[in-house]
Structure 1
């Protein structure tokens, strides 16, 4: 999570990115996304550069000029301007700037999937891969093993997914596993949520004691948007420990309608 000033900085840079991708010049989202992710890697690995681009003691215009001088003629103008816009903003720390550039790069690639009509597929594939990783301890260990290089872990993901998923899914999943410090399954889940956000939706993680029927899924899909005021994507997992009912999580909010949850509440009340 970003601190307040970093969230504002990210939102401001996002406006620049969206204007570039949707403007009259029609910057290529795939190119911009790939370049932003590459530069995010550079910034993450270079403390001197990271400090220069995020140092609040330097005037915003001067920080933007540093970014432009580094990137002018080497990347697409939209990439250069997005990085310059990010550098000119106030971040809580220089690490957040690097993370912000990475988020913007991922959003640009997701926008490319949306432009081609494939974003729903990418979102579903990212969620499916996250569940695969979480359900396979050996695979998750291999993907988070820091004795392996980032390039090695990235290549492992590409080998697993090559030809089986949309190219954007493969690129984002590989990049995320290579760059994250979190558990790979959780990082991939967050990437799926980011895809839903680009699609204008929230993600509802639904845990149920057994498989939901088509009617139950339809009813949930109809009710949740009225609660959260936005279209909702359902990601359903089976958890027999719930004994019955469902647990729904959207963002930080959790609705526990499970038998196990009611029993736990009863125990607390009895105490």
Structure 2
């Protein structure tokens, strides 16, 4: 059986869908979720739904019953993730799983992004645990930007602190498919995949794509890191998260979110989703 953590989340549910699409029987997939009542759609598909909370070791141990492989989708709670991931690793070790696939961050070992710190800690914990594992170092999701595409078009501006930094983004579904491929393939233990989109763009180019697709004037406005973080707070983001996003843009300006190895498209056997397609979907 294959367990997917955070299976009702944005990436986790796509991993479950990808496993089903690959022909894995629904009753061989365990969707580990914090609130089973919110996963009724998975239950209706025949997927095994089990309650599990990253912060509750006992629930994780119970959810791992009869599980042989695990997709550890990184927690969304920045600042708490290293400890939460350790709980999952401990439960997987106790269950004797044969492979754990972890969704890390692109070039985690050298990344200038503050977000990479907890991923490095988790990778170190996995190594220390002895649990056979494969690292899926995911680049930026296209949705990180396209979820606010309509707002950018409305205001005629994309704001950021990335300068001429390039983003090699791909759709969440592309990364989910990669996780499904890795966790269902043989001889994956010890592998490290640097996963990113086939085509990179600067935020100025992203603004140009928005303009072209929407027919409206959209430009990129580059801001100092502190000023960009302040703007994000003003539009309603928590101060800590705003700082993380601004730091990530600065990290991108240093090459932290660029990769041209095409590892992702090679792993999933098809080109990654172009940013233009993600923009069209977001604006439709």
* Structure having greater relative contact order (Cα 8 Å, sep ≥ 6): 2
Give the number of the structure whose residues are more often strand, by fraction.
2
TM-score, normalising length from structure 2? 0.29
